[in-house]
Amino acid sequence: MSEKQLPLEDIRVIELGTLLAGPFSGRLLGDFGAEIIKVEPPGKSDPMRNWGKSKDGIGLWWPIQSRNKKSISLNLREEEGQQVLRELIKEADVVIENFRPGTMEKWNLSYEALSEINPKLIMVRTSGYGQTGPYKHRAGFGSVGEAMGGLRNVTGFPDRPPSRIGVSMGDTLAALFATIGCLVALHERERSGKGQVVDTALYESVFSVMESIIPDYLLAGYIRERMGNILPGVAPSNIYFTQDKTYIVIGANADGVFRRLCEAMEQPELADDSRFATHHARGENMKLLDSMIEEWTKTLPAKEALKILEDKGVPSGLIYTAKDILEDPHYKERDMIIKVDHPQLGEFPMPGIVPKLSRTPGEVKHAGPEEMGKHNHAVYTGLLGFNEERLEELKKNNII
């Protein structure tokens, strides 16, 4: 374990909610040292504990999503549990929640109520549609956010229905924006001494990365649609089949890079061909150009083609599987596959920390707590000063 001070280790976060968006924000803050106290209702753990593939009955997503976190149980549906949370809030900097809007208010745990207890509190709220607006009370998962935000309509091939990206992109984007908002609010608090609400909507997080689709429509009358692996009007930028029956990706749409690609293909004359000599011309003749490039890639194994392209300075690469990632020396050099001790599974592989900080890098101290409420005693007696009698009473009342 590193002896260096982690950049957020003076920040205490209470993480409420389940599954992806809220807990992923907690993971990101925890990677850089924040103390994350994850709250789960007794007898009803976060479903993430069982999502994904499993090994020996243990879900393989949970140890990653909940790394560096402490786990406590607490029943927020009961007034006694709500009071315990208020005591935790007194000792916290941030509370993360991703319930449907109105849930915290129903439990008498609104930001207004909690900020009276702790005026410096920052409440990070992630929901499908945000805390205001006509849709605020609707249930909203990441899939719906991806659809409403415009992402699903441009994902897939034009002759097929809209497709899902292979990971939970809506939730992940919302978590990233929520984490940015949290850090901004923490910074602003240094000046004002006051907390505030960070309101992140899934659909808005997706929409924020949708590039120029609105001016494309309003100013150019163009609705961006599904285009498969190409970029409309930008060529070459596609995947290409190789001799050993795999695909590589090549991006050579800038004039200078395209000229280097032509040299790599031993067809330098194509760079001056009127059909391909300019950005606009290449876009107009995209299908022909892609077919010519694939005729070349099909004569070579993927690694040989990539070596030629690399030597010529043409952006290109394999389309990686998990196996490729594990075998790649660059991933290894950058510590992007780390191994953390797991009580049942031993060395547990998981993604490393992003981004890399030069002086105060993040750290994964432990995998997600294997049992719910593992840190009940440490948090309730250590942080809040409850005695054993109080703990037993809370257990008896099904509050923890």
Task: Tell me, yes or no, whether 90 and 204 share the same domain.
Answer: yes
264 closest CA partner among 216, 317, 307, 203: 307
Q: What secondary structure does DSSP assign to 13-70, as a single string?
A: EEE-S-SSHHHHHHHHHHHTT-EEEEEE-TT---GGGG-S-EETTEESSHHHHTTTEE
Query: Is 367 a member of any domain?
Result: yes
Q: Which of 295, 318, 341 is a domain's end point? A: 318
378 closest CA partner among 72, 83, 76, 89: 72
Task: Tell me, yes or no, whether 185 and 267 share the same domain.
Answer: no
pLDDT score, position 231 = 87
Q: Which of 293, 318, 343 is a domain's end point? A: 318
Q: Which phi and psi (to 5°) does residue 363 adopt?
A: -155, 140
Task: Tell me, yes or no, whether 305 and 354 share the same domain.
Answer: no
Query: Is 228 a member of any domain?
Result: no
Task: Tell me, yes or no, whether 179 and 303 share the same domain.
Answer: no
Task: Tell me, yes or no, whether 129 and 266 share the same domain.
Answer: no
pLDDT score, position 3 = 61
CATH code (residue 41): 3.40.50.10540
Q: How far apart are CA 170 and CA 8, in angstroms?
A: 26
Q: Residue 214 to residues 82, 118, 218, 219, 234: CA-CA distances in angstroms?
A: 44, 41, 6, 8, 19
DSSP state of 166: S
Identify the segments of the chain with pLDDT beneath 50.
1-2
The residue with tokens 């599987």 is 321
pLDDT score, position 1 = 42
Distance of CA 17 to the CA centre of its chain: 16
Task: Tell me, yes or no, whether 358 and 266 share the same domain.
Answer: no
Residue 106's contacts (CB-CB under 8 Å, 6 or more residues apart) are none
Task: Tell me, yes or no, whether 265 and 295 share the same domain.
Answer: yes
Q: What secondary structure does DSSP assign to 353-386, as a single string?
A: -SS--SSS-----SPPPSSTTTTHHIIIIIIS--
Query: Is 327 a member of any domain?
Result: no
Q: Residue 291 to residues 238, 240, 241, 283, 285: CA-CA distances in angstroms?
A: 11, 9, 10, 13, 10
Q: Supply the Cα-derived Rg of the chain in whole angstroms.
A: 25
Query: Is 325 a member of any domain?
Result: no
Q: How many domains does the chain have?
A: 2
Query: Is 86 a member of any domain?
Result: yes
pLDDT score, position 52 = 87
Query: Is 85 a member of any domain?
Result: yes
Letter for the amino acid at 329?
P
Stretch (H or E) spanning 219: helix 213-220
Task: Tell me, yes or no, whether 155 and 37 share the same domain.
Answer: yes
Task: Tell me, yes or no, whether 340 and 308 share the same domain.
Answer: no
Residue 82's contacts (CB-CB under 8 Å, 6 or more residues apart) are 76, 107, 108, 109
Q: Is 268 helix (H, G, I), strand (E, B) or coil?
A: helix
Exposure of 30 in the CB half-sphere (CA atoms within 13 A): 28
Q: Could you tell me the two tokens for 291?
A: 């077919």
Task: Tell me, yes or no, whether 29 and 156 share the same domain.
Answer: yes
CATH code (residue 303): 3.30.1540.10
pLDDT score, position 345 = 95
Task: Tell me, yes or no, whether 372 and 266 share the same domain.
Answer: no
- Domain of residue 285 covers 237-241+247-318
| Catalytic hit among 31, 46, 93, 171 | 171
Residue 35's contacts (CB-CB under 8 Å, 6 or more residues apart) are 9, 11, 12, 13, 70
Task: Tell me, yes or no, whether 126 and 256 share the same domain.
Answer: no
Query: Is 323 a member of any domain?
Result: no
Query: Is 388 a member of any domain?
Result: yes
Q: Judge whether 171 counts as a catalytic residue.
A: yes
Q: Residue 1 to residues 65, 69, 84, 105: CA-CA distances in angstroms?
A: 20, 16, 32, 41
